[in-house]
Structure 1
Amino acid sequence: MQPEAVIFDIGNVLISWQPERYFDRVIGPDRRRALFANVDLHGMNDVIDRGGDFRETVYDWAETHPEWRDEIRMWHDNWLELATPEIPQSVRILQSLRARGVPVFALTNFGIGTFALAEPAYPFLREFDRRYISGHMGVIKPEPEIYAQVEADCGIPPDRLLFTDDRSDNIAAAAARGWQTHLFETPEGWAGCIVALGLLSVEEAA
């Protein structure tokens, strides 16, 4: 069944999100491994993605781990360096779908403050027909409520939604609700899915 709308995750689908790579470069792999072993930075980021104040959350976390204070604060102070670069083919697919008149939505775990930084840096984030940003919704993937909110807002039957995400747990939660899904591993694989469903030609998805 051909989808009526295509839903993109953002991190690692449209924009590379590899904080470990940033810290490897800045403090070195050994110290980075120690940092991530001692401080639950991804748990901190979940607080932000649920709507927690960006600066306050990071700086409070830093104060609970004073031996890592400077490194933790980098998560806030240098955030755009953690969320880079864009994934060009995925952006082209997004724009080609829009040019074809296919509705495109974003469903992403993203904080209010972090999205405010990302939007001017990545203008294509303004091109979605609808944006479902976890920080504004107060719930994160893979919790069922976030998918239910999308369904209620867009009014499209679940089996006519096509969703791509790089995390298998997020994909499984969407599939459990009847969504069509694609586990994003490479932009080429995502392009193949889009072409196979008849949404774009090979040339449009390249």
Structure 2
Amino acid sequence: MGMPATIPAPIALSPRVVVFDYGEVISRAPSADDRAALLARAGVAAPDAEAFWAAYWAHRDELDRGTLPIADYWSLVADEIGATWSDLDVHELWAIDHRSWLSVDPGTLAVLHALRSGGTRLALLSNAGPDFGGWLRHGSFAPLFEAVFVSGELHAVKPEAEIFEHVMRELGIGPEDLLFVDNKAVNVDGAVAVGGAGHVFEDAAGLEAWLRALAA
């Protein structure tokens, strides 16, 4: 059994609101085992893995926007790599893929708790299909956030201005109070483009340093 994790000293940034991405910020990236399991179930041999991942990501924005049903998404992936999958195959591919994104990074969670204990308002904004809504709203970390925004429910994705403007309206803030954290620079640029400030996440230590500098 490992040592109990500790929560850092509070970080107070009120009236600013810190809006967090989910994937690869709060969650960890899918592991090598996760990726291997998906390739195996898809029937993709190692030499063809690169083509599979290219097809996997090619239509992800449409899936995350909520305009492409899950079955249609996997059909497009199959078409691009020359695979044939039954409806039952697709159910399993979806489940393996979905589970691979359900994890937490304890370092990021410690920072979230420090912000919360400092009275800082928090929200979550994820590019994800509507099938992730339950996990994001009802997982153990969900009470840390006053609002959860899922792109697949809003039919808009980061880095589009529309989704950041929606978030600010719902939170009742102007761009000067928007602090956005994402692992993708293009998404952070989207927040900056509407007048907010942002941090490109690499690790929890860098995130905490950025937030404490703002608090100081």
- Kept after mapping to 2: 8 A contact 1:8/1:105: yes
1:114 equivalenced with 2:132 (yes/no): yes
**How many Å separate the matches in 1 of 2:19 and 2:129?**
18
Q: RMSD across aligned C-alpha pairs, in angstroms? A: 2.8
Cα displacement string for residues 80-118 of structure 1 (whole angstroms, at most 9, x for unaligned residues):
432153111111211221222211011110111133356
Percent pairwise identity = 24
The number of equivalent residue pairs is 196
- Kept after mapping to 2: 8 A contact 1:59/1:73: no
**How many Å separate the matches in 2 of 1:19 and 1:42?**
16
Deviates more, 1:174-183 or 1:77-86: 77-86
What secondary structure sits across from 1:105 in the alignment? strand
Unaligned runs of 5+ in 1: 200-206
- Kept after mapping to 2: 8 A contact 1:62/1:73: no
Given residue 12 of structure 1, which amino acid in structure 2 is its aligned partner?
A: E
> How far apart are residue 72 of structure 1 and its match?
6.8
> TM-score when scaled to structure 2?
0.77
What secondary structure sits across from 2:195 in the alignment? coil
Partner of 1:202: none
* 2:119 alignment partner, one of 78, 101, 115: 101
Partner of 1:58: 73
Aligned counterparts, 1:95-174, within 5 A: 95-117=113-135, 122-174=139-191
* 2:56 alignment partner, one of 41, 44, 49: 41
**How many Å separate the matches in 1 of 2:98 and 2:208?**
27
What secondary structure sits across from 1:78 in the alignment? helix
Aligned counterparts, 1:2-13, within 5 A: 4-13=16-25
Residues 58 and 185 of structure 1: CA distance in aligned 2, closer, same or farther (over 3 Å): same
